[in-house]
Amino acid sequence: MGGDCSKFLADRTLRIEASGIRKIFDLAATLKSPVDFSIGQPDFDVPDMLKDTAVAAIRSGFNRYTPSPGIPELRRAIIENIARRHGYRPEACMVTCGTSGALALAVWACVGEGCGVLVPDPYFVSYRHLVTMAGGEPIFYDTYPDFSASAERIEAAAAPRCRVLILNSPSNPTGAVIPERTLREIADLARSRDWLVISDEVYDMFSYDCGSASFGALYDKTIVVNGFSKAAAMTGWRVGYATGPAELIEGMCKLQQFTFVNAPAPMQKAALAALETDLSGHAAAYRRKRDRICEGLSEAGYSFRRPGGAFYVFPEAPGGSGEAFAAKAIGENLLIVPGGAFSRRDTHFRISYAAPDDTIEKGLAILARLRRAFPK
């Protein structure tokens, strides 16, 4: 068995850099019951009513292929939901296998060889790899030290070969929310350059201070991607969606037909029920967790930007190296992710506070102890 099979790996696969932080994850695997601040998914479970809907769909035989763009009633409900929450009606909508499926299809459909794609730094991990996979070139716009994306910062990074801009607000890993005024300035810039914008709004339900505007309301050449993983805790059920110009969504549907085929049928029924359910209680609970984690980090003397959304904080690593600090934390039974997993720099670390309150308290106590080992 085995032998040298590496020759079968295509350039597209080889172009993707293996994660530089694998060492940390190997170390983390040695812990038995760590205090876990590394998980990027809600700590609450799927609401019972949605579980019942999925089970009823399975039992009633709703287990076959669906139309590739998704069941019509869900697509209609997504458009109605956007119209109600954001005051605009996207031209077209398709249901995908998670937000990840929507992101992949958007990039594959619209990014070709040599196409420059503006990507925020820090970024959600898959952006740069999806672009590279498609033969495009990620061109990073730096948002350090306050993590606010702005038209000036994007313009400063833009090259003539840029055709696509990726936005993510609220952001993973920084929790930063782009205010509507800034989004309007970015829309003006995108319009003047005739860019396509891919706006990842998967955390839009988790914006704690000022709501979260949809970029699709401000600029028509936008593909908005979103999903049910965070708002309804359906991470394992793989339902997301993309909305935007009909021509582009049709292009993405063509690719979905020959790849993912369709999002899981019974889970599309559950997603429809999720749109009819008030899920805002979770956001209120996460706002309290955000407040508590910020209070604890301040008391301990960490340097960080107060996040306005999602469920992450991205503090500076005491000592200057995210990887070295994460290794120290693992030595104290605490899992955090080095900033280098999300950035070209490794100066910070990511905390996910999507955790039970007692885990947050235990994690804060460990972080306070770790911080004392470094000069203020």
Ligand X SMILES: Cc1ncc(COP(=O)(O)O)c(C=O)c1O
- Residues at the site binding ligand X, with contacts judged by CB under 6 A: 40, 98-100, 124, 168, 172, 200, 202, 227, 229, 235, 240
Residue type, 68: S
Q: Smaller CB distance to ligand X: residue 199 or 321? A: 199
The H or E element containing residue 189 is helix 180-193
Least separation in angstroms between residue 255's CB and ligand X is 16
- Our CB check for ligand X shows the closer of 86 and 350 to be 350
Taking phi over 0 as left and psi of -120 to 50 as alpha, with beta for the rest, 320 belongs to left
Nearest residue (CB) to ligand X, 98 versus 264: 98
Element (H, E) at 264: none
CB of 239 to ligand X, least distance (A): 8
Q: Which of 244, 318 has the CB closer to ligand X? A: 244
Taking the least distance from each CB to ligand X, the nearer of 40 and 244 is 40
Q: Are 214 and 186 in contact (CB under 8 A)?
A: no
Contact assessment for residue 166 and residue 149, using Cβ atoms and an 8 Å cutoff: no
Of 225 and 370, the one with the shorter C-beta distance to ligand X is 225
**Closer by beta carbon to ligand X, 227 or else 318:** 227
Cα(41)–Cα(35) distance, rounded to whole angstroms? 15
Closest CB 163 distance from ligand X, rounded Å: 21
Residues in CB range of 183: below 8 A, 6 or more apart: 167, 169, 213, 215, 218
DSSP letter for 16, please: S
CB of 93 to ligand X, least distance (A): 16
Distance between CA atoms of residues 112 and 134, nearest Å? 6
Is the CB of 139 or the CB of 231 nearer to ligand X? Answer: 231
Q: Which of 127, 200, 114 is nearest to 163 (CA)?
A: 114
Q: How far is CA 49 from CA 43, 54, 277, in A?
A: 17, 9, 9
Q: Which is nearer to ligand X, 226 or 347 (CB)?
A: 226
Q: How far is the CB of 127 from ligand X (least distance, A)?
A: 8
Least CB distance from residue 86 to ligand X, whole Å?
18
Question: Least distance to ligand X from the beta carbon of 191, Å?
Answer: 24
**Number of residues assigned to the chain:** 376
Nearest to 231 by CA among 274, 263, 269, 179: 274
Q: What minimum distance in Å lies between the beta carbon of 340 and ligand X? A: 17
Closest CB to ligand X: residue number:
98
Other CB atoms within 10 Å distance of the CB of residue 184: 16
C-beta neighbour count of 373 within 10 angstroms: 9
Answer for the pair 336, 348: CB distance below 8 angstroms, yes or no: no
Cα–Cα distance between 199 and 65 in angstroms, integer? 28
Q: How far is the CB of 69 from ligand X (least distance, A)?
A: 17
